[in-house]
Structure 1
Amino acid sequence: MEQTKEQKLGTMPLPRLMASLAIPSVIAQLINVLYNIIDRMYIGHIPKVGPIALTGVGLTFPIIMLISAFSAFIGAGGAPLASIALGKGDKERAEKILGNGVSVLLIFSISLTIIFMIFKRPLLFLFGASDQTITYAVNYITIYLMGTIFVQFALGLNMFISSQGQARTAMLSVLIGAVINIILDPIFIFVLNMNVQGAALATIISQAVSAVWVVKFLLSEKSAIRIRRKNLAIDFSILKNIMALGISPFIMQATESAINIVLNRGLSIYGGDLYVGSMTILQSVMQLAVVPIQGFTQGVQPIISYNFGARKFDRVKKTYRLTISFTFAVSTIFCLLTVFCPGMFAGIFTSDPELLALVKKVMPIFMAGIAIFGIQMGCQTTFMGLGQAKISLFIALLRKVILLIPLALILPKFFGVMGIYYAEPISDITAATTAFTIFLCVRKKIVSEEALSRLG
């Protein structure tokens, strides 16, 4: 009898299995980041107002990241638990986890839309907006917020497709939306002269199509776990487990919002709009560097979770060893590219000579710590795949809340505006080293019958 996709997670040779799941996931993550990257590329080249418009849109990132963080709260928290349940052969529990995820994502969507619509303007000024940039920021985020529900479903529920070994299907859900976004962006921005509003409209239309695709698949017989009406009622015992594991990825993304606020305000105070614009480009390049690693780890996480649930511990160990080795190699390569070729990356987003010169100066500093960031990503994925919520939470807090935010506030007092750029590599290197040390100390304890039994 032919094996189902989820059963192959426990039997297919690991290198081939990891490639079959990771490649589509990497492509999906790269495509997903294009939603914002392409917007910035086009916006940065709008005649006359490009640099100011790019800065304005960059100021909306804290809100956008927070919206994405809530989708990760449920998706990244629920998907590994659903995969572990499938590994145990408990399909009913896996579907209850999915059903609870759908309901909570809907609640999040409504709440976030209302809250940010009411407070968007004062929040944007808090984030570092000036009288010059506020109009562009408000125009972009107002339209974007109308599609919050599409973002929540497209990002959050797509993880439940990946968790069952359906990496290609998960990739297609992102690809469809991205292609639509790429087509609509230049039409809305330049042909219809809609400026930043056109970029936002193109984004929410493309996210809507992706969301419909994801929901349709999870309702169909092609999915190993399906959305069923009986499972939509919230079960707080299940929700508690989802949120316990989801709090780590939530903090990882939500703190991106807090970091954005701290960095932009600091750059605005010590440098001005030009420096805020440089951070928009630097964070875009950071995404290009990190996203392939995130795609790979998202692809292999179901292998760790399923085999852990199936008590195939040797298979789990081999998977995490390959994962950490690969993520470290990739992060090192990207570090070298961005440190030695900063102008190539900066030119993607702007042709303004002054902004180009600044980005070329600060990018080698800002990106230096990413060399070993891949180690942290590999360890973090293993902890998440094994349901280790507390360790994942600590690592998520360490890099951004404990290290990066305080450093970004303290270092400028000694080094001026450059101190803000120094904060990133210091926190990256310290956090990655700590994460790997913790992993080496606890890896035997967390891959065990005892650890599995505690997950219920």
Structure 2
Amino acid sequence: MAKATSKELGTDSIGKLLVRQAVPASIGILVMSLNILVDTIFVGNWIGSVAIAAINVVLPVSFFIAALGMAIGIGGSSIISRALGAEEPKKALKTFGNQITLTFLLTSVFVIVGLVFVDTIIPSFGGKGAIFDPAKIYYKIVLYGVPFLALCMLGNNVIRAEGRPKFAMIAMIIPSAGNLIFDYIFINVLDYGMYGAAWATTGSYMCCFIYIVWYFLSKNSELKINWSHFGLNKSIVFEIASLGGVTLARQAVVSITYLFLNNILFELGGESSVTVYAIIGRMLMFALFPVLGITQGFLPIAGFNYGAKQYQRVRESINTAIKYAVILGFAIFILIMLFPEAITNVFTHDKEVLAETPGAMRWVFAATPIVVIQLIGSAYFQAIGKAKPALLLTLTRQGLFFIPLILILPKFYGEIGVWISFPIADVLSTIVTGYFLNKEVRKELVITENN
């Protein structure tokens, strides 16, 4: 049954496949995003607004380490999807084993380094003044659970590569539901404050890890690895690294962006401005969940059919994914433009934050209807195993445009310069991605198919 599921990626209609893959992915991302939102609401109301800023300081560090698992997962899953499409099961198994080995080794090293240099890292990411102490408490505890999160991110992407989106959805729901339950117990009932928030997060990662292990040991997975698959293979490691490096580079740039933004905003407006960005950052994770779901669902479809040399289906998957994503992008845009005040009120009662957040939120989401093209375009190159253009397009948005803009514009326009940098970077990166995607489709898919 499982084997038939992966083959369906090359036979079923693209529209149905995309819905089948994207809906569970969207639900999983929605639940994860709701978890982050509710977690922020709990922390803000039960501990205080400074605690929201403290968690926001820690996120880029913990997410970067966890992103090692995501990067290895996405990079390896591209190989697995194409291997299954080309009917090369041995390569798929060896790739999965190598993914696990790499994730365990790399995350362990980064966690140790992160704990040793904790007092240097937290201030560097904006954890200054009243933010430092709660950030340090949260940071040290959460870091212990990050390797489990990394392995969960790896497993989730591999599950999706097998064509099992519902199981991948459950893997995303478990840590979210667990975190909310633990939040209520540790923060509200036991009154553990930041310690409770941190242990709730770490405990939820461990629950997800147990589920991932169960899935791959059960009959649901067709990837039944043994000890021989864990030994690193040079060519596979290189391919995982080149493709996974795209995701890792993206997360590295995101972490650097957090570093700049938190420090710039702290200098411009203190703790309240950092809190404003923390709230908007949560909304970015939450509001874009259907678009991110389409992107996640698109990856195995494009990769499998590219591996099977069904180029017409690859083109159709690109067009369908972009069409669905643009429609959803417009819906998100309208909701954010109409209700930013109501959204902000859910998070905090701080008058200064309430006054500043709605206007900033409108600027940040201003280009949402078109930036979805950038997300799918860069994901396409990763799906078909072309690391260099995938890396270029991934870094274009944050690295090439956004970071220079937030370093320059605030000098002339103050805090508003930070917020207008978001839509400017989105528009410019979408133009660049659209150009390269159109060129790739015409050159590689249309010409190759005709020949």
Band of TM-score, shorter chain: over 0.9
Deviation at 1:35, TM superposition (A): 4.1
Offset, 1:2? 10
Q: Higher helix fraction: Structure 1 or Structure 2?
A: 2
Q: Which ranges in structure 2 are unaligned for 5 or more consecutive residues?
A: none
* Paired amino acid for 2:9: L
User: 1:237 Cα deviation (Å)?
Assistant: 0.9
Partner of 2:24 in structure 1?
24
Q: Which letter maps to 1:102?
A: I
Q: Deviations over 1:32-57 (max 9, x none)?
A: 234433321211112xx511111111
Gapped regions of structure 1 (runs ≥ 5): 452-456
Change (3 A) 1:310 1:392: same
3-state SS of paired residue (2:224): coil
Q: Report the equivalent of 2:170.
A: 172
CA contact (8 A) 1:69 1:251 kept: no
Instruction: Find the aligned partners of 1:219 and 1:229 in 2 and give their Cα distance.
Output: 14
- Counterpart of 1:224 in structure 2 is 222
How many residue pairs match? The answer is: 449
Separation in structure 2 between the aligned mates of residue 39 and residue 69 of structure 1, nearest angstrom: 20
- Matched ranges for 1:399-410 at <5 A: 399-410=397-408
Aligned match of 1:75: 73
Aligned match for 2:440, one of 420, 431, 442: 442
Counterpart of 1:320 in structure 2 is: 318
How large is the RMSD of aligned CA atoms in angstroms?
A: 1.7
Contact 2:186-2:200 at 8 Å conserved across structures: yes
Q: Does the CA-based 8 Å contact 1:339-1:365 persist in structure 2? A: no
- Structure 1 distance, partners of 2:423, 2:31, is 26
Corresponding position: 1:102 with 2:103 = no
Deviation at 1:65, TM superposition (A): 2.4
Name the CA distance, whole Å, in 1 between partners of 2:443 and 2:79: 19
Residue 122 of structure 1 corresponds to 120
Contact 2:76-2:95 at 8 Å conserved across structures = yes
Deviates more, 1:215-224 or 1:275-284: 215-224
1:388 to 386, 392, 401: 386
CA distance in 1, matches of 2:224, 2:252: 29
Alpha-carbon separation, structure 2, partners of 1:377 and 1:259: 18
TM-score, with normalisation over the residues of structure 2? 0.96
* CA–CA distance in structure 2, aligned partners of residues 449 and 151 of structure 1: 42
- Do the aligned partners of residues 238 and 449 (structure 1) sit closer, same or farther apart at CA in structure 2, a change above 3 Å counting? farther
After TM superposition, the structure 1 stretch with the greater mean CA deviation from structure 2, 242-251 or 74-83, is 242-251
SS of equivalent residue, structure 2 residue 347: coil
Cα separation, partners in 2 of 1:2 and 1:167, compared to 1, 3 Å: closer
Call closer, same or farther: CA 1:2–1:414 in 2, change over 3 Å. Answer: closer
Q: 1:250 to 1:3 in 2, by over 3 A?
A: closer
Q: Secondary structure at the match of 1:347?
A: helix
* TM-aligned CA deviation for residue 219 of structure 1: 2.9
- Secondary structure of the residue aligned to 2:12 is coil
Tell me the distance in 1 between the aligned counterparts of 2:66 and 2:303.
23
Deviation at 1:421, TM superposition (A): 1.2
TM-score norm. by structure 1 comes to 0.95
Q: How much has 1:449 moved relative to structure 2?
A: 9.4
Q: 1:250 — aligned with what?
A: 248
Instruction: For 1:129 and 1:206, locate their aligned partners in 2 and report how far apart those are by CA, in whole Å.
Output: 24
Distance in structure 2 (CA, Å) of the matches to 1:230 and 1:219: 16
Change (3 A) 1:250 1:447: farther
Which residue is equivalent to 1:454?
A: none
Output the amino acid matched with 2:146: T
Q: Is the 8 A contact 1:109 1:149 kept in 2?
A: yes
Question: What does the per-residue CA deviation read over 1:207-250, in whole Å, with 9 as the maximum and x for residues that have no partner?
Answer: 11111211221233321223321110111110100111111121
SS of corresponding position for 1:326: helix
